[in-house]
Structures are given as structure tokens and as C-alpha cells.
Amino acid sequence: MEQSALAGRIALVTGAGQGIGEAVTRALVAQGARVAAVDATEDGVKALETEYGTEKVTHYTADVSDSRAVEAVFEEVERTAGPLDILVNVAGVLRTSPVVEITDEDWKRTFDVNSTGVFNTSRAAARRMSERRSGCIVTVGSNAAGVPRTSMAAYAASKAAATMFTKCLGLELARSGVRCNVVSPGSTDTAMQRSLWSGDEPPAGVIDGDPGSYRVGIPLGRIAEPSDIADAVLFLVSDRARHITMHDLYVDGGATLRA
């Protein structure tokens, strides 16, 4: 992809302060886009703004589960930067627990961010993009949305909801020319992933599989880097994917053995 492939386009990335969201932000800037970097905490997105300068990255602090806060961010972005061309939903939380031990708060918070957050931002983007008959939305989901995982019921269910919502939105917006797609990572080297480890390296069961938890390993023999996911997002928001919508692109090293 040419370094200026997205020159002049305005993008908004949620969960931009670390991990996949940060990698997506950096990748978009590298392709010439101007990015509104949104996160619930300020440190990471403010650091990106300082690094790149406000002409390339502007930081916003907002909880995507708060629809009013989301709408305020969208209004400010379009007022100061211009019409939004790209939305990438990355913000997410992971709280693991067997179903019988999940607390009401953990279940609610997981859906508030992973599902309702995607609804809030996508609705705000869709209202604007559909009127202009241009734009694209990418939701970063999870391969857990397509295969059961022990102790991950809340996370998997919330990602499945976000995935189907994005596809339905894509169907509704298709005639306006707005494209909506999903990128579904597997295990990726992020702070969220490392919170599941006891050391610096992934447990053998992540790479080789764990029959005790009914988990298949990763055929390619490694976990993803955040940049692997960002590259998939870049493709889907680019003109090279202009005839792709309602697609769910798995980036998991073959872990789901998906047909």
C-alpha cells in the first residue's frame, strides 16, 4: 500500500491508547490519515498526540459506553478536523470467569464497552457517513465470537453481539456506499492478553492447544503482534477493499480452523 493511500482522510479510533488501538492509530497515520485517538484513559492517547503533533493525531478522553460522551467527541472531531471518513472500533475489556461465578457488574461492564460501545460509536458515524454516502467502519472483534471458550463467556458473547451488529449495519448502509466490516483477532501480544499469563511468554497451551480446556492451538506457531491486526484494518478501510462489506476477517494464525 502506498504511504499516502489514506492522505487527507479523517479517522476515529477507539481504544487508541494501547495495544491494537495504538497500532491501528500508528498505521493510519503512516498512510496519511489524520486520527482522532479516543480512549477512556488519557495517558496513551495524549502521548500519541505529543509524538505526532495535533495535525496528525488529536486525543480525546471518553468512555464509549456513554452515548452522550461519544456524540460530543464526534461533533468536536467533525467541527475541528472535518467530515469523518473512517471509524475503527477497538475499545474493549476482558473479564474472565466461569459462568457460574460471573458477577452482575462484570457481565454488564463487558457488554457496555464491547457491544454497546460499538453501537454508540457506529450509530454516530453511520448517521454522518450515510448522509454523505461515503465512509467505512471496522469493528475489531475476536475469534472468540465464533468458537466457545471456557471462562470467556461474557467476552465471547459481547464480541459476537458486536460482530453481528456490524454486519447488520453494513447491510442497512450498503446502498449508501458505506462499508462495515469486522476484523477478528486471535491471541495477540497486548496488555489484555498478557493479563492472562503468569510470565513474559505465552503459556504452551496458547500455541500448542490445551485439551483440558477444549482449546485448539495456533497452526502458524505464534501469537499475533498488534501490527498484524492493524494491517488487516488498513486493508479494509482502503480503496483496495472498496467492494468488501459485511465481511469478518479472522487474523488468528488459523486457530479456529475456520472453513
Q: Which residues are catalytic?
A: 155
User: Is the CB of residue 239 less than 8 Å from the CB of residue 9?
Assistant: no
Q: Helices in the chain by DSSP H: which ranges? A: 19-30, 42-52, 67-80, 104-111, 117-132, 153-173, 191-194, 204-208, 226-237
User: Is the CB of residue 187 less than 8 Å from the CB of residue 193?
Assistant: yes
Calculate ∠ Cα 191-125-86, nearest 5°: 65
What is the rounded distance in angstroms from the CA atom of residue 70 to the CA atom of residue 62?
7
The residue type at 143: N
Q: Which 3 state secondary structure label does DSSP give 18?
A: coil
Residue whose cell numbers read 473512517: 86
